[in-house]
Amino acid sequence: MTFRNTDDDNPNAEGRATLEQLVRWRRDVRRFKTDAVPDALVERLLRLADLAPSVGNSQPWRIVNVPSSELRAEIVGNFEAARIHAGEGYSGDQADLYYRLKLAGLKAAPVHLAVFCDQGVLQGHGLGRHTMPETLDHSCACMVTVLWLAAREAGLGLGWVSIVDPAQVSKTLGAPPDWKLVGYLLLGWPEEEHLDPELERHGWQERTPFETRYFTAGNAPLSNEAKDARPAKPTRPGSVTLVGSGPGDPELLTIKALFALQSADAVLFDDLVAKPILDLVRPGARLIDVGKRGYRKSCKQPDINAQMVSLAREGLKVVRLKSGDPLIFGRAGEEIEACEAAGIAISVVPGVTSAQGAAANLKVSLTNRDHARRLQFITAHDRRGMLPKDIDWSAVADSAATTVIYMPKRTLAELTEIALVHGLDPKTPAIAVANATRPDERVFVSTIGAIAAALDAAHPDGPVLVMLGEALRYATARDAAERAEQIAAAHGVLPEQS
């Protein structure tokens, strides 16, 4: 998951996240890339965090940057010793799980920050501290939370290390006696993104329902036992609907898909969903970007499954919005299985798949009865992003079939080379379409022997599909005629009339 931010300092910047996304995604990051974070970005985030509220405007936080490798090594040793000591308090499976949860980011994170609370601060004139002196610590926690959210909005991750001996950290860093360690923070670019906390993902502790922590004074005695004994259920059952948004043109949405978008409480949308379609979502609904970006770090499928289930368990109508048709190379099977396993009601609204949209714009029949006995869809990459090993090459080489290749950008040259070896005629018509049905649609008319080179030279942005087969000759003939007319018009020569 890449957070949306327009800041130039963020190499992953693509837009700006909503506050709700930041709150839901402000996970404790434990694995970082070693890439440096620009000093200007770190300073900007710290200055923003310094605006956090504090009791009596006391601003008791003291932030210590730790760039020294020697000091960091001492902190790592402190952590390892504290980790072993804390592990002695667990036994059995809990102990095994505890020792498997390692904080690799302590060595990889490019920025280390120690946050102290100055217990002797005079600023604020003691306002609020005479009755609740611990609010100094609470103020520092507010500052860290602001820093945490600001870092995530910039695409950075923040980890809060609590398994350390505070006194030893203070000694290592030479902190004054009145400074109390609040947290040792790690800042850097996340190695991976997840929607759920790592401790929940690995089975340490699941998140419990909100209702177990919400009370109304005067109705009954305040008691954890009463809350824990009563199962917290949403006032209405939640549900998930998988909706196909089509290839991009919002007018290709089905009426049922439009109804789903306008009644949704939350919409989890893919990277390829066109913005005009997102504009049709009911105002007030949660919009959550869970796009999986090919060949880049992106949101993991198990995280998306967990997010769908979590939102539905809150009693929400959840729409999982996908480009094209969710049942055609859309990983719908995994999401349906996740919802059914969790007891969540799920339905599917099909969409116009990109092959249909592209063919419609080209005005070509993919099943022309004079040339095609079969229409087949194949994907050009597997779970690893590689060309699948189990493609039926004899079917691809069949001259009486129309083949549509989804997601072929990286593997098209390899695919066409193997298909030609298996007997596919290199002169077979082939058409590549980028951003089918959208305003920036691009069409590349060629043959299967040359289409990979044409695409590589053009390097089009956005989703691409390739169609091949004799049924496409009508489209290629029209394209050739249009090009001839354009050339003739450019030179002031009218084409011959027959």
Cα–Cα distance measured from residue 401 to residue 469, given in angstroms and rounded to the nearest whole number: 6
Give the whole-angstrom CA distance, residue 469 versus residue 400: 7
Three-point CA angle 35, 40, 41, nearest 5°:
60
Residue 275 a catalytic site member: no
Domains along the chain with CATH numbers: 19-192 (3.40.109.10), 239-352 (3.40.1010.10), 355-485 (3.30.950.10)
Residue 386 annotated in active site: no
Q: What is the pLDDT along the chain (498 residues), one digit of tens a residue?
A: 333 343 444 444 445 567 776 776 656 677 788 999 999 999 999 999 999 999 999 999 999 999 999 999 999 999 888 888 887 887 877 777 666 666 677 888 999 999 999 998 888 888 887 888 889 999 999 999 999 999 988 888 898 888 899 999 999 999 999 999 999 999 999 876 665 666 666 666 777 777 778 788 887 777 776 555 444 555 568 999 999 999 999 999 999 999 999 999 999 999 889 999 999 998 888 888 887 654 344 578 888 898 899 889 888 999 999 999 999 998 899 999 999 999 999 999 999 999 999 999 999 999 988 889 999 999 998 877 889 999 999 999 999 999 999 999 899 999 999 999 999 999 999 999 999 999 999 999 999 999 999 999 998 988 999 999 999 887 665 665 565 565 556 555 554 444
Computed on alpha carbons and rounded to an integer, the radius of gyration of the chain in Å comes to: 29
**pLDDT given at position 385:** 80
Tokens of 62: 């003291």
Burial class (CB within 10 angstroms; exposed 0-12, middle 13-18, buried 19+) of 443: middle
Cβ-count burial of 233 within 10 angstroms (0-12 exposed, 13-18 middle, 19+ buried)? exposed
Beta carbons within 8 Å of 429's beta carbon, 6+ residues apart: 445, 447, 448, 468, 469, 470, 472, 473, 475, 476
Q: Give the active site residue among 33, 227, 256, 292.
A: 292
Q: Show the DSSP H helices in 397-498 as ranges.
A: 412-421, 451-458, 473-490
Tokens of 477: 């003939």
Q: What is the pLDDT of residue 8?
A: 41
Residue 476 confidence (pLDDT)? 61
Q: Is the pTM of this model over 0.85?
A: no
Question: Distance (Å, rounded) from C-alpha 476 to C-alpha 470?
Answer: 10
Q: CA dihedral defined by 361, 362, 364, 367, rounded to 10 degrees?
A: -70
Could you tell me the two tokens for 381?
Answer: 């990459």
Task: Pick the catalytic residue from 407, 409, 467, 479.
Answer: 407
Contact 8, 160 (CB under 8 A): no
**DSSP type of residue 282:** P
Q: How far apart are CA 288 and CA 307, in angstroms?
A: 10
Structure tokens at 126: 């003691």
165 classed as catalytic: no
Pair 190, 93: CB distance under 8 Å: no
